[in-house]
Amino acid sequence: MKTIGVVDTTFARFNMGRAAVDEIQQNVSAKIKRITVPGVKDLPVASKKLIEEEGCDIVIALGMPGAKEQDKICAHEASTGIIQAQLMTNIHIIEVFVHEDEGRDEKELAFLMEMRSREHALNVVNMLFHPEKLVKQAGTGQRQGFEDVGTLRH
Ligand code: RDL
Ligand code: RDL
Ligand code: RDL
C-alpha cells in the first residue's frame, strides 16, 4: 500500500491537515502519516523525515505565511527548503501555502485554506495513482482555491 505524508503547522489559522486527510480518504485507500510542526520553516525537514524514516511515497506540506514582510521572507525560505528536500529525496512534496492576505476577510480566508488544501490533496492522489489525469489537465489554467482561469486556446 502507498503511504502519503501530511504535514501542517500550528501557525496556520485553519486546520489544513485535517482537510487534506479528509480529501485523501474520500478518494483513495492509502496509508496516511500525519504530523504537525510549529511553522512553515519546519516543513522541509518534517517532510524529509516522512520520506526517509516513514517511507512516504509523496508528501503534502501545508502552511499559512502571515501578512507581514518578515512572514513573506520566511515563506520564501520555507519554499526553498521544501524544494531542496524534494531534490535530496527525489520525492514530490506538494507545497500548499495560503497567504494570510489572500482572503478579503476571515470568511474568505477560511474558504480558501480549506479549498486549496483539498484541491492540492486531490493533485497528490492523482500524481500518485492517476498521473494520466494531470496530463489531461495540461494547459487548462488550473488554480487551487479560487476559480480556475482557463486555457487560452482550445
Ligand atoms: O522553527 C521555528 C520557527 O522559526 C518556524 O516555525 C517559523 O516557520 C515560524 N514563522 C515565523 O517565524 C515567521 O516570522 C512562521 C511565519 N512567520 C509565518 O508567516 N508562517 C509560519 N511560520 O507558518
Ligand atoms: O507544490 C504545489 C504548488 O505549490 C506548486 O505547484 C506551485 O508551483 C504552484 N504555484 C504557486 O503556488 C504560485 O503562487 C504556481 C505559481 N504561483 C505560478 O505563477 N505558476 C505556476 N505555479 O506554474
Ligand atoms: O492569481 C491569483 C492567485 O492564483 C495567485 O495570487 C497565486 O500566487 C496564489 N497562490 C499562492 O500564493 C500560493 O502560495 C496559489 C498557490 N500557492 C497555489 O498552490 N495554487 C494557486 N494559487 O492557485
Is the confidence metric ipTM above 0.85 for this complex? Answer: yes
Give yes or no for a contact between 118 and 107, defined as CB atoms under 8 angstroms apart: no
Q: What is the pLDDT of residue 33?
A: 98
Write out the three cell numbers for 132.
494520466
95, 98, 111, 148, best to mutate for ligand 3 pocket (most atoms within 8 Å of CB): 98
What confidence tens digit (pLDDT) does each residue in 87-131 have? 999 999 999 999 999 999 999 999 999 999 999 999 999 999 999
Which residues line the pocket of ligand 1, CB cutoff 6 A? 9, 11, 38-42, 63-66, 70-71, 74
pTM as predicted: 0.97
Write out the three cell numbers for 51.
520520506
Tell me the mean pLDDT in the region 6-22.
98
What confidence tens digit (pLDDT) does each residue in 128-152 have? 999 999 999 999 999 999 999 999 9
CATH class of 3-137: alpha beta
Give the start-to-end residue ranges of the domains of the chain: 3-137
- Distance (angstroms) between ligand 3 centre and the Cα of 53 equals 31
